[in-house]
Amino acid sequence: MFLIAITRPVSSSIDYCELSQLKRQKIDIDVAREQHHQYEETLQDLGAELHRLPLEERMPDSVFVEDTAIVLDELAIITRPGAEPRRLETKSVAKILSSYKRLYYIQVPGTIDGGDVLQVDKTLYIGISNRTNEAGIKQLEKVVQPFGYVCKAVKVRDCLHLKSAVSLVHHDALLINRDLLDSSQFSDINLIDVDLSEPRAGNALLVGDTVIIPEAFPKTRERLEKRGIKVKALDVSELAKAEGGVTCCSVIFEI
Ligand code: CIR
């Protein structure tokens, strides 16, 4: 098994990023780049080989590569991001992914952000959010069904994406903030609740047997560690001002 992580450097136009839940705050680009560097180093320490896409200075959100593609063992789906200014980001991602996978594209009028797709084995939980619509979900379902995947749509509220509220932290356990979604779809899997004083802590990134979470959520970290989960906490405060979490800065897959 070989792990690939696609990343992209932080654009100096990140101050013009899309925002849906947060008020705009000035982002310190040098700090953001240093934090992103630490994130990339952590992925490498955890065994991933980095493929850094070219810097896209005119695309403020282009560091958040997760939203541009859904990569499965058998194929990759290039998304049509819900925020129109982000759609050009997919081009370079498609180019690199085409050397590993057969590509499918979400078409008009469908929209999907990768942040809304949570894979647990052969189940894809898909957030119905401000970025991902029913037409996008139908297209995705049609493409993945022949490969044995089951799609389950989940309504999310008061957050950007499904994975802002729930993410994989062990092969059979999810970290979740049930206040931000309809949790009835997750009845057949173990759930670990975020500490409710840290409502934004639901976004964690499992790489191998280690879970990356933001340093800003120590109580949730403690909860994970109590369950025997190995955690690596990172300072991602500047990227968080752009509503970026730890899953969104990479597209990770095995080859
Ligand atoms: C956006 O609103 O699209 C970006 N500012 C943040 C995207 C974060 N993506 C993710 O969590 N998958």
pLDDT digits (tens, 9 = 90+) for 30-77: 999 999 999 999 999 999 999 999 999 999 999 999 999 999 999 999
Strand partners, 213: 233
* Residue showing tokens 């968080």: 240
Candidates 137, 174, 132, 177; CA nearest to 158 is: 177
What's at 66, amino acid-wise? E
Cα 236 from Cα 240, distance rounded (Å): 6
Tally of CA atoms within 13 A in the half-sphere of 2 that contains its CB: 6
What's at 102, amino acid-wise? R
Cα 75 from Cα 171, distance rounded (Å): 21
Supply the pLDDT for residue 233.
98
pLDDT along the chain (255 residues), means of 10: 95 98 97 98 98 98 98 98 98 98 98 98 97 98 98 96 98 96 93 97 98 98 98 98 98 97
Supply the pLDDT for residue 111.
98
Candidates 210, 200, 138; CA nearest to 166 is: 200
pLDDT above 90: percentage of residues in the chain: 99
Residue 161 falls in the annotated catalytic set:
yes
Candidates 221, 223, 247; CA nearest to 167 is: 247
Supply the pLDDT for residue 1.
79
Residues with CB under 6 A from ligand 1: 17-18, 20, 61, 64, 66-67, 83, 86, 115, 160-161, 242-245, 247-248
Q: How far is the CA of 19 from the centre of ligand 1 (A)?
A: 8
Residue 248 falls in the annotated catalytic set:
yes
Whole-structure pTM value? 0.97
Return the SS3 of 218.
Answer: helix
The closest-lying atom of ligand 1 relative to the alpha carbon of residue 17 is 5
